[in-house]
Homo-oligomer: A and B are copies of this chain.
Amino acid sequence: MSDTAQTLPPAALAQLFTEARTHMHWQDRPVTAAQLREIYDLAKWGPTSMNGFPMRLKFVVSPAAKDTLIPLLSEGNQAKTRAAPATIIVASDPSFHEQLPALFPGAPGAKDLFAGNDALRESTAFRNSSLQAAYLIMAVRAFGLDAGPMSGFDAAKVDAAFFADSGYRTNMLINIGYGVAEKLYPRGPRPAFDEVAEIL
């Protein structure tokens, strides 16, 4: 960071973190394809291990794509996903290492590190696609939209419906749009620093 970098303005911290909420109810207000591309083009800059970038995305917007997705969700996630203008399927590519020569050209041996080690590839793809899901959530909020991340779905069936050709594995889903603030329930508490952290 440059020596002049400052703490972001309070309104930005509120929009990203302190006042942002996971939404379950959505306004009848669309999210455009241009917005979806803009969200991707911001979130893509978040760091991943060796710039490996395992995240692969489907943006579910059309009624037909929703009809495919929604029956594969746990019951509690169905109505809100129907109401959301878009749902991001965040998957990971277990063969992400094939792209390392292009994405991480400074370390020519990086691909071989993963080629013979399935466990390392799987944990790296899962960890880093999860980091990238969080960058997406932050990017959604940075553009003034709301996010509703979900992990209640039948992953094998979502994989089969959306990634049968590629072998990508669904990690989580994120509803996006403009939430209905009046329908939020009270916010859950967070642990205090000393309950979960320590300075050594």
Contact = CB atoms under 8 A, between A and B. Distances in A.
Give the number of times this chain occurs in the complex, counting copies.
2
B41 A193 contact: yes
A23 B191 CA distance: 29
Contacts of A59: 197-200
Interface residues of A, number: 86
Contacts of A37: 193
Nearest to A15: B5
B1 A55 contact: no
Contacts of A30: none
Contact of A57 (B13, B46, B131, B198): B198
B17 A56 contact: no
Contacts of A33: 199
B13 A42 contact: yes
